[in-house]
Structure formats: structure tokens, C-alpha cells
Structure 1
Amino acid sequence: MSHDGVGPRAALRSVALLTAGVLAVPALAGCGSEDPAGKPLAGPDVEPADRAEIADGGTLRWAVDTVPDTLNVFQSDADATTVRIAQAVLPSMFRTDGRGRPVRDPDYLESAEVVETEPKQVVLYRLSQQAVWSDGREIGAADFAAQWRALSGKDTAYWTARNAGYDRIEKVERGKGDLEVKVTFSRPYADWKSLFTPLYPKEVMGTPDSFNDGARKKLKVTAGPFTVKKVDGKEDEVTLTRNARWWGDPARLSEIVLRAVPRDKRVSALAAGTVDLAEIDPAAAGRVTAAAGPQSASTPLMGPAADRSAADELRSWAIANGSDEEAADEEVSAREKRRRKAAKYARRQKALSGFEVRKSLEPAYTQLALNGADGPLSDERVRRAVARALDRKELAEAVLKPLGLPAEPVGSHLALSGQAAYADNSGALGRPDVKEARALLSDAGWVPGGPVEEEKEKGEKAAGAEGKKGEGSGEDDGTYVVGESEENKNDEKEKKRKGGDGKDGRENGGDDKAPQDSGTGTQHLKQGGAPGAYAPKGTAAPARAGTVPVAKNGKALTLRFVLPSGPGSDTLRTVADRISRMLERIGIRTDVSRVDDASYFKDHIASGEYDLALYSWPATAFPATDARPVYAKPVPAADGSLNVEQNYTRVGTDQVDQLFDQAITTLDDAERRALIRKADSRIWAAAGSIPLYQRPQLVAARKDLANAGAFGFRTPVYEDMGFLKKGAQGPAGTPGAKSADSSAGD
């Protein structure tokens, strides 16, 4: 049966991610008749097609980031590919639909409901009569019980990464019949639908040895439309094949090959025909789109010769045919290299014309994280000043508008638009306001001018003594200061205007009617006047009016801004540059460092070696469970260190913790949503992290591939994926055509 749903939550929330209680929080959204959750900003874009239109058989080659180290999603080294495999081969009691909300999976469950709340919460699962493991055994209470014992946290011999929810179960037992499973909780648990997804067989969960090692490289027993045929580390691929004992609609594909392909190599893999489906970055998406579109004389040039003008070509021809034989030979060789590159590019573009870009928004958002552990950002007023200096709408538009995706800033830390718990609670922090941001800094003791200029002059002298390393030497240490560099650029322009040595223009034939220096050194720029127009001789004009750096106790306010430097990080650098300019307007300078992708999260984010950073968190249908460790108040550990769980901003409050604790035990859906939204308002007010925009999801897919692409909240229905039959019509009446509402919200 084809159904609307998504597989299990990610095993780990990876990347990809105080005094707020005394702050006034506005009335919660949702008090009126209109649902504040709204609709998803973008729906799935998967080329939907009826199963009858899809050919029987074929192999889908799907690019992934890695071949996983384990097939057990409950282990610490599980990754996104681990989850993808589990979605295709294991039972899911509840999946997530196109609105990011949990729904019953009818292939496994006839029903599941809370049947008792007093004296204890009891959930009764009624399993599908046809649900069996690939070895023929019925799925039943023994599998549920084995998974509970393994993940309860009571037996430390199991190397588990998480036990949330399972630690609240008191017992798992057989119901009235073989198809009933009765789960009794020792404490109320609102997110009970998150459990047993995926469900592993008792052969995996039954003993510590089988849990720790038995499911790392193989799964002998499965229960999905596909089964694991082979995990090949040498070939960097995992092969899934049809499950002969699958009782639902049979898979249209014969095999799915998950092939590890680096992000920066995916366009080449698509062109070479080694993959059929691949998530790609915006630059690659532009190339695929250009190749797929109609070509004409007016089509913008791309590729190796895109930046060469007619004059360049004429000059090249003249040199190649000139009297200087050595220069002619070099130019002929260069022309031949360009020709070969252009031919290769043309061949690849022709190959790429068989693909299209399917786009949606990921169930994840990018945020600006502010490290509140120490330094200037330990002061909530400074964090709030940073937050209120940001124009989040501008940042969202910079990333999403060029891609044709809805450019709306995210209004919640705990859910995304369309999900039940979503409401825009950013009003708890206040609207963007430069004036208010400066007032917050001033209240915290950071004021404009003063020692900053002296500090800058010393820095310039030191740089001069060292030969201005990294500026004129051609060396680059990967670090630059936004704000200071802009002022230096303006100073250089001013020197050129005055004759190159900084002297008054009159000494170089300049205008002898320039304003004269009074010699008193007491003249000041009038408010509203042009920068530097009436300043005394020797006074440097500010780069921009009103952007004088702020200082406190003789030190300028400069924040360490850490970014990844690997492939695909161009978007983050663009966003960081805009953020830096926004902060410069309130007098905050940023020291931007680009670090290796491999060390970015572990050595900087998790260890707290940053002031500002950009990274993403996934959204979840179960925020009371999954988001709590991300925003929990850090507590001192026994060894003197700080236990931050997953709260890498180190900002938390007792009140937020209490609201999460209340939400997790509240079985009433409306009341729980209100508690989640209230917690989100407090998180906004604390300003430890600022949600910016939902991440774009860009997927290159073969034009004849149906029911696959950019899934948004919805995970693929694996049995419905496949290639259209020859002559099959897409939803709009043409082969491969998209439906009219393919990017609309569900």
C-alpha cells in the first residue's frame, strides 16, 4: 500500500547545533481560532506517479555521503545513511507525514493507542496480521521486549547512544493475542509514538554482543520492502534488494545501490552515469538546470570559456598567428587545452541534460549559535544585542530566493512551519532594531570610541613591523577581521585621493580651497554631516557613519566567528559575511576563521572554541524528547567539567528545563503544544541561538525517475520508487512533467 510517511528519526541530532525567566514573554500564539502551526513552506518534489506507470525492475543508484560504520541506528557512530537503510528494511510503528507529524504505518500497525492513564500509562499496539520478519517469524511482543531491555539504560553492557523514552517503560508483555503488544510506563510519556521506530528483531537486540557487533555490517533478519544484500566498504556502496517475504505492495525496483560520492564529485558522477539520484549544492544545481533547459544563442555562457570575451579570442588568434614563434606556440597550446576543456564540458552538459533538479526545504534549519559560556557573550544583554542586529528576513532571502524557494525566517527552535508544535515565537526577543541593539550594548558597558582607536593604531604599527604578513606577502592564515578591514580599505582610498602618501592634496597640486585645520584639534563631526567633512587634519574618517567600534575597559568588542572551509560551505560564508556587516553597524567586529570540515564540529562547536558559529539542527516530530538535551541548562559534572549534553551554546535556564519536563509528561496534545511553545519563547529570550532559515534541499534526479527526489518532511515510500515505463505520462501529461502543486505545502 502506498502511503504518506517518513521513516524513523535520525539516531543522533548531528550536524549536520541564564536569566531568561525574568524577561517578559508575549502571549503565546494559538489563542485564536487560526492554527499558528501553518503549513509547510515547501512540499515534497518527487515526480509523483502511480505504480501502474512505473516499470518493474531496475536499479536505482543513489549517492550518499558515506558507507555507514554500523547498521544499528541506536549506536553512537550511526549516520544519515544508517537511518536511510533502516527506513527501507525495518518496521516503523509511526512515520512522519508531509507536514512533519507522526502517523501510523498501516503496513505494520492496525492500531496503537493509550488505553489507560491511571494508575499508569498503558499503550496497546495491534500489529498487522501479515507482518513477518524475512525469516518467516511473526513480528511480536518478544521483539518489542528485547528492544526495550537493550535501550532502557539498565544494562551498561549495551553500547547505546540514547535511551529516551525506553527508560520510562516498566514492562512489555503480550496482549490478549499474538498480534497485541501491551507496553506499561512507569512514568507518563507523551512522545510514546517515537518508540519502536525502527524496530529491530530480537536476534539483534537480545544480547549485548548481538547489539554491539551483530548489526554493524549486516542484518540477517529484516521486515521491509527491501533487505540488505551487501555492505561493501571497498566499493563504497551498500546494496539493498527486494524482500521476498514483504507483504505490502511489492517494490518496483529490483535493487537500490547506495553509493558513497563526495559532494564535490557528484556532478561528475551524474554526468558519467554512475548515479541516478544525488543531493547537490546550489552551484551544481545551477549547472544541472542549465543543461536540462533549452539551449539557444541567448543562453548564458557557462564552463571554461564563460569569462572570455570576443576581444580575448581575437587577441588569442592574433598571437597564435603572429610573428613571435615562441609566443605563438604557447598560445596554440593554450587554445588547444581550452578546446579540450570546452569539449569535455559540452559532453558533460549533454549527459546532464537527462537530469533535473527537484527542490524543497529540508526538515532542518540553520542557526547562528552564540557561545554563552564565557567572554562577552556570557552577558545576556550582549547576546540580545547581537540577535536584534540581525535582519533574518534578509539572510533567508539571500540563501533561498535565488533558488526559487520560500524565503521565510524560521520562527521556532523546536519545530518548523507545518508541524504541530510550530508557532513564531521570535517576538519574545524583539524585532530587529539597530538602535535598541546599541542600547543593550551600552547597558552592558560597551560604548563607542575611546580606546579602540589607540588599539587599532598599535595593531597597524605591529603589522607594519612584520611586513603585513598575509596582506602583501601573499600568505593567508584563513582569518580576517570584518569592520577593521573595511576601514583600512577606506583609508587606502583616502591616501590615493590625497596623492598616495596621506598628505594633504594641496602638496600634490590639489585644491588650495580645502578646509583649513584650526590647529585646536577640537572640531567634531556634526550629527548628520558627511563623515570627515569638517574633521581636523589628521583625523581618520570612519568607514561608515554610526559604525564606530564599541569598547569596554580598553578592549574592543571582537567576536570569534568560526566557519567550515570545505566543499559546499559557500552559502555559510555568504551568510557569515552579511551577519558580520550587520554586527558592524552596532559596533561589533568579527574575527572570522575558516577551519577544516573534519574538525569544525568536534574541535570548535562541541568543545566551545568559538563565539559565533553557523550550523544546523534537524526538526523532529517529538521536540519534548529530542530537543530537551539541546537546550538543557549545563550542569557541573563530578570531575569539575561542565556537562552540556548537546547544548553547545552553553545557554540554558531552569524554567526551560521545567517546561520540557512538563511537556514530556503531558498526554493532552493541545496542552503539550502550549508548553512546547512557551519553552520556545523562553529560549528565544535567552538568545543562545538564533534560527535563521530552513535549509534548501536540492536533488538531481533522472527525469524518468518517479517518487524520489527532494522529500522535505516525508521520507520515501521505497516500494513505490522506480523508473517510468516508456511512453508513461507524468502528472502534468508529459513524460517526466511535474505536478502543478509539486512545491506546494501539504
Structure 2
Amino acid sequence: MDATPRPRRRLARSLVAATALVLVVTGCSSSGGSGTSNEATKSAQPRLDAQDINPQPLDKVKDGGEFRLPLQQWITQWNPLQVDGTYGDSVEIMKMIEPELFRVDATGTFQPVKEFLQSASVVSSSPQVVLYKLNPKAKWSDGKPLGYLDFKAVWQAANGKNTAYNVSSTGGYDQIGDISQGADATEVKVTFDKPFADWQSLFYPLLPAAGISTPDDFNKGWVEKVPITGSAFKIGSQDKSAQTITVVPDPSWWGPKPKLDKFTFRVLSSSAITQAFLNNEVDYASAGRADAYSQLKANPNAVIRSASPWDEVHISFGSNGALADQKVRQALGKAIDRPSLIKVVNQGVPVQFAELGNHLLMTNQAGYQDNSGEWGKFDLAGAKQLLTAAGWQDAGAGQPRTKDGKPLELHFIISDASSQQTVDLATATQGMLLQAGVKIDVDKVPANDLDEKYINVGKFDLATWRNTGSFPPSLVIPFYQQPVGDNVFQNYSKLSTPEIDSLLKQAASTLDPAQAAKLYNQADAKIWELGHTVELYQRPQVTAFRKGLANYGASGLADTDYTAVGWEK
């Protein structure tokens, strides 16, 4: 994980604003800062298939040692299929300790992990049938072998038919018609009612039937504990007082022995991570902000690595109060000057930040097109017209508009552990929106409450986080699909339409990539029009790692083989 966590393909979200420098934008003043005023020479955004991990053969990597990683917040819900378990760091740790059937390479291609899968392939197209051949050595920490009942339990929990399972996504699982045993206990046969192009993204990671077979086990059985593991590592300790978690090799592991003795995760605020690296307390830190980059690049024990993961920075709108009106949300979008924000946050960072005009696809991803249209273009006059049409009357410069005697006052929620740069982003947005007659209060809330008490339950008017690792595109669907009852999946704004829902589901069922991209882009245009989220930019990974760290770094689309991570001899 990065100081900005890098979960992949499954329930990927990181509540970390990726901002840089004190902002100089419309309606905002600069407070400056030493070492951050000089513009860094920009390189182009790294190719999507690029990675920078210091690859080393295992005989060049030491046996033993510790890798110390920052953790953005304490992990409460460990189940990555549960709606509260989508926090990036926890998802990445779960892929260390639970079966990862496939590992994605730098090109975004799923490759079977031989310790779990001997093979997996589509053996029929009408209906679509996938046959998994499991490694007979693969087993859970309770001694049971991996089998079809585990696949079936995941499917039955995540297909949406039993709403007592509070799942974060039904995508793909709701298109499966049956799961059964194949020719023997090592074969799993998955039959789809509707085609699903991204079938390799399912069961990622696989969870044990013994831990999720009832709604109570699924929703509560993984709170602050991991009852069953099934991979090369296990949880060593969780010290809530010290805010540290360790992950250690599992002696029951049947594959190659991990190089490291221990991974230690320590909760640190975003603003503290850079100094922790400089103090030799952690072994990597984000260098994606100007202040951090200027300090870290000068450190003799640091090496800067960069890549282009699936990583977007945005501002999301809630759906309560005044924001229940689509015209108000659209007005907010028009009043935010995206290019000005991006220009400033990119100061002092050596990789170009690409403006993002798509919620579902990255700028260097096949099928990408800018669908922002009028809804992503800065248009202050248009914003004012929309607010007037929505009944919010102009009260004069610097004053909030009013309706029925009430001021148009909204709340931008951020963590009290946010870096100054995150505060600056919210403050810049505050200044922009005031020009349209919208008063924004920037509210700092406890870091460990941000997910559970605010974002996950939609208790915000504006909020910023990063959706990361959402590749292939079907994994973005939960961010925008229609809530079902109390289950919002990962659509924390609780905003969608039947048309958006239908387009996204059609795209996920379309096996022709070009036609699927067309449907995704049609859905994206509707998401912009809905006033759901203002996309800002695609964030490259620019990170400082301690010298000598091998087989780990800026991995782009690729997954990490944690058994190979270690320190050079």
C-alpha cells in the first residue's frame, strides 16, 4: 500500500484527498510556503502498463526483515465484500492473507496464481460457464480445503437476493445462475445467467464459507478481527491502543516462503507520513504533493518511483436537503473551476496530472472519452442561473442565497487528520462556491469516524476521496448503481437513475470491448448530468521508498506478490 492506499479490482476506495501546495484559485488567497513555489519540470503521465518496483530475483533478496507501512485509519470492518469493508488499506491487507486467485500484471491482465489455481477458463459461452481447477494443496487456516462451497457462499452473500447481507457490490454475482462442484472436489463450475466479461474480477479475494454463510457472520463476524485466513500471511497482532497491525508469514503456507518476517502497519495522519519517513519510522511515503516531494527527493535514503494506477480524485455531492435538487448539484459543478484546481495541486510535482472527464475510465485506458460536456465546464453565470431557477435568490456578493428564508449553506466534510493540502482543497472549493452564492462550511471530523459515521452513511454535502484500483470497469459500477433499500453499495451519494443503472449493467454483460466502452461512456455522460460527482484529475502514483526495497513500489495496474517483497542483499 501507498500512503494513499492502492486496492485493486475489488471494492476499491481510499478516503484520501490528493492535493498539493497552498491553493491560488478564484476566490482564494495564497499563503505560500518555502520550497514549494518553484515549478517542477513535468514529465508526461506514465503509461498505464508502466510500473517501477525495483524487480529483483529472489536470490538477490535478503531472508527476513521488516517492512513498515503507514495506515490511513484504524481498520474496523475486514470483510471486503461488506459495505463498510471497502477501505483501501484493509482490502490490500486482505489480499495478503486470503486467497488471491488471480494476480493482475502490469498490462492489466489477470494471471492465475498457481498456489490457488491450476487453471480457470470459460468452457462454454451459451450459457457462459467458467471452470476453476483449484490447487489441491490450497486450504484455509481451519484446515478445510478450498472448494466450491466457498465460491457458492460468496455468490449467495453478494448476489443481492438476500438483502440481510449488507454487500458493497452485487456486480457480476447477480449474473451468476448456479455454482456447483465439477468432476471432483478441486473443480468449481460457475454458470452465468447473463454473460459477464470481467468474470476474473470475482471472488477477489476468495472468502471462506465458514466465515460468511449467515448475514450475521458476514456483517459482524469480521469486525476488528479476521476469523479465518488462507494464504501466505496471517494477522500477527492488532494493537488498537498503539494503532498498529502486523502481518506475518503463516507457517502452514504451501507455497514459496515469504522473504520478510513481518509487515508492520501504523496509523498515521496524512500530514505526519512524510516526517515519519524522514525519521526512519516508515519505509515509504507519498511524494505526490509539492511539499512532500521537495523533502523526500532530497533525502539520501529515499528513491522516488512513479506509475499510473487506476486512481481518480474527485469531489462528491450528497443528496440531502438542498442537494436533493439536481439543479443545485449541477450548479455546484459549474461553479467549480477544475483546471485552476488541477494547475495548483500539480505545482512542484514532477509528473503531469491529467484532467479527468470520465467517472468510469482513466485518460490512458482503452475506450476513454471526455463526457463532462457543459457539466464539467467552469461557468459561473450558468451556475447562478441554475440556482435562481431552483428558487435560491441572490442575496448579494459574498452572501449565501436564500429560499423560504433559509440560507444556502452546505458542509464539506474532511478528516481532522487531513494534510494542510486537503484543507486547502476544501477551502479553495469554499471560495469558488461562495461566488455563486453558496456558503460552504469546512467541517473536520475524527479520522476514524470519517468512513463509518459520515461517508458510508451519506452524511455529507461535499466530500473528497479517491476511488482507486477500479479495473476492469465493471468494478466501478457500485459507485453509481441505484441503492436497494438501506444498501447503498458504494454509492455514498445515493444518487442514480434507472437509465444509468441499466446502461452500466448492459456494459458489464457485453463481451465486445468496443461496444462495452460505448455503453460505459453513455452511462458516464448521464452521471455528469445527474450532478453526482465532479471528477478532477487522474492521479499518478509518485512515491518515495526507502532504498533497497525490492519487488515493491509504484506498481501501476499490477498486483504485488508479497512473498517476494524484501530488502536487497
Q: Give yes or no for TM over 0.5.
A: yes
Separation in structure 1 between the aligned mates of residue 229 and residue 494 of structure 2, nearest angstrom: 42
The 2-side partners of 1:602 and 1:210 are apart by 19
Deviation, 1:624, is 3.6
How big is each residue's C-alpha offset from its partner over 1:55-96, in whole Å with a ceiling of 9 and x where there is no partner?
222222223235534544334553434322222232222344
Structure 2 distance, partners of 1:605, 1:209, is: 23
Matching of residue 616 in structure 1 with residue 466 in structure 2: yes
Q: How far does residue 114 in structure 1 lie from its aligned partner after superposition? A: 2.7
Shift of 1:195: 1.7
Say if 1:213 and 1:583 are closer, same or farther in 2 by CA, change over 3 A: closer
Please tell me the residue identity of whatever aligns with 1:94. Answer: F
Matched, 1:112 2:120: yes
Whether 1:15 and 2:11 are equivalent positions in the alignment is: no
Tell me which residue corresponds to 1:344: none
The Cα shift of 1:137 comes to 6.4
Q: Give the letter aligned to residue 441 of structure 2.
A: V
- 1:97–1:60 CA distance, 2 compared to 1 (3 A): same
Indicate yes or no: 2:88 matched with 1:239: no
SS at match of 1:82: helix
Q: Which residue of 1 aligns with 2:333?
A: 387
Relative to structure 1, the CA distance from residue 606 to residue 716 in structure 2 (aligned partners, 3 Å threshold; closer, same or farther) is: closer
Q: Give SS of 2:53's match.
A: coil
CA distance in 2, matches of 1:234, 1:440: 50
Distance 1:45 1:398, change over 3 A: farther
Q: 1:400 to 1:359 in 2, by over 3 A?
A: farther
Identity %: 32
Compared with structure 1, are the counterparts of its residues 231 and 174 closer, same or farther at alpha carbon in structure 2 (3 Å cutoff)?
same
Aligned ranges for residues 53-92 of structure 1 at < 5 Å? 53-66=60-73, 68-69=75-76, 71-78=78-85, 79-92=87-100
Match of 2:480 in 1: 631
Which residue number corresponds to residue 378 of structure 2? Answer: 432
Alignment of 1:371-410 (within 5 A): 371-375=318-322, 377-410=323-356
For the Cα contact (< 8 Å) 2:67–2:566, is it kept in 1? yes
- 2:28 aligns with none
Residues 1:256 and 2:277 are matched in the alignment: no
**2:418 match:** 568
Partner of 1:94: 102
Gap change, CA 1:593 and 1:92, over 3 Å in 2:
same
For residue 151 of structure 2, the aligned residue among 134, 138, 144 is: 144
1:596 aligns with 2:542: no
Structure 2 equivalent of residue 222 of structure 1: 230
Which residue of 2 is the match for residue 370 of structure 1?
317
The two structures have a TM-score, normalised by structure 2, of 0.78
Q: CA deviation digits over 1:466-517, x for unaligned, max 9?
A: xxxxxxxxxxxxxxxxx63xxxxxxxxxxxxxxxxxxxxxxxxxxxxxxxxx
- Equivalent position of 2:568 in the other structure: 724
Q: Deviations over 1:290-336 (max 9, x none)?
A: 651xxxxxxxxxxxxxxxxxxxxxxxxxxxxxxxxxxxxxxxxxxxx
Report the more deviating stretch, 98-107 or 50-59: 98-107
The question of whether the paired residues in 2 share the 8 Å contact of 1:132 and 1:245 is answered with no
Aligned residues: 534
Amino acid at match of 1:15: L
Q: Give the superposition deviation at 1:683.
A: 0.9
Deviation at 1:238, TM superposition (A): 3.3
Query: How far off its partner does 1:722 sit?
Result: 1.1
Secondary structure of 1:401 counterpart: coil
SS at match of 1:403: coil
CA change 1:582–1:250 in 2 (3 A) is same
Q: Quick one: which amino acid aligns to residue 59 of structure 1?
A: E
Contact residue 168 and residue 489 of structure 2 kept, 8 A: no
Please, which moves more after superposition, 52-61 or 378-387? 378-387
CA distance in structure 1 between the partners assigned to 2:265 and 2:371 by the alignment: 39
Alignment of 1:606-685 (within 5 A): 611-624=461-474, 626-628=476-478, 630-633=479-482, 646-685=490-529
1:369 counterpart letter in structure 2: S
Q: What is the DSSP-based 3-state SS (H/G/I as helix, E as strand, rest coil) of the residue aligned with 2:258?
A: coil
Q: How many angstroms apart in 1 are the aligned matches of 2:8 and 2:401?
A: 49
After TM superposition, give the deviation of residue 435 of structure 1 in Å. Answer: 5.2
Structure 1 alignment gaps of length 5 or more: 1-5, 18-37, 293-352, 454-482, 485-548, 726-746
Deviation (angstroms), 1:103? 4.7
Following TM superposition, by how much is the alpha carbon of 1:132 offset from its aligned partner in structure 2, in angstroms?
A: 5.3
Q: Deviations over 1:24-62 (max 9, x none)?
A: xxxxxxxxxxxxxx9756944433333333222222222
RMSD: 4.1
1:609-630 superposed Cα distances (whole Å, 9 cap, x missing partner): 65444333335125445424x3
| Residue in structure 1 matched with residue 358 of structure 2 by the alignment | 412
After TM superposition, the structure 1 = structure 2 runs for residues 304-703 of structure 1, keeping only pairs within 5 Å, are 353-360=300-307, 363-375=310-322, 377-420=323-366, 422-427=368-373, 429=375, 431-434=377-380, 436-437=382-383, 440=386, 452-453=395-396, 484=398, 558-564=408-414, 566-583=416-433, 587-598=436-447, 611-624=461-474, 626-628=476-478, 630-633=479-482, 646-695=490-539, 697=541, 699-703=543-547
CA distance in 2, matches of 1:444, 1:695: 34
Are the equivalent residues in 1 in contact too, given 2:98–2:229 (CA < 8 A)?
no
Counterpart contact for 1:165–1:189, Cα < 8 Å: yes
Quote how far apart the aligned CAs of 1:656 are.
1.0
Letter in 2 for 1:588: G
Gaps of 5+ in 2: 1-5, 18-44
CA contact (8 A) 1:100 1:620 kept: no
Alpha-carbon shift at residue 569 of structure 1 (Å)? 3.9
What is the rounded CA distance, in whole Å, between the counterparts of 2:324 and 2:163 in structure 1?
Answer: 36
* TM-superposition CA deviations, 1:91-121 (whole Å, max 9, x none): 2223444455655445533433333343x33
The residue matched to 1:614 in structure 2 has which SS? strand
Query: Aligned AA for 2:378?
Result: P
Q: In 2, Cα distance between the equivalents of 1:223 and 1:176?
A: 25
CA contact 1:288–1:700 (8 Å) conserved in 2? no
Matched with 2:34 is none
- Structure 1 pair 666/699, CA: closer, same or farther in 2 (3 Å)? same
SS in 2 for 1:256: strand
Residues 621-672 of structure 1, C-alpha deviation per residue, up to 9 Å, x if partnerless? 25445424x324568x6xxxx8765444454333212212322333333322
TM-score by length of 1: 0.61
Structure 2: how far apart are the matches of 1:151 and 1:182?
Answer: 17
Is the Cα contact below 8 Å between 1:99 and 1:419 reproduced in 2? no
Distance, in Å, in 2 between the alignment partners of 1:188 and 1:56 is: 45
Deviation at 1:444, TM superposition (A): 5.7
How far the C-alpha of 1:723 sits from its partner, in A, is: 0.9
Check 1:394–1:110 CA distance in 2 against 1; reply closer, same or farther (3 A cut). Answer: farther
Q: Which residue of 1 aligns with 2:29?
A: none
Equivalent residue for 2:58? 51
Distance between the aligned counterparts of 2:281 and 2:145, measured in 1?
A: 38
Q: Secondary structure at the match of 2:378?
A: coil
Partner of residue 283, structure 2: 276
Deviations 1:179-217 (A, max 9, x none): 432112344444422222112345545677876548963
Aligned-pair CA distance for 1:679: 0.3
Say if 1:231 and 1:237, in contact at 8 Å, map to a contact too: yes
Q: 2:22: which partner in 1? A: none
Alignment partners' CA distance in 1, 2:10 and 2:482 = 23
User: Based on CA coordinates, which of the two structures has the bigger radius of gyration?
Assistant: 1
Question: Structure 1: how far apart are the matches of 2:543 and 2:154?
Answer: 35
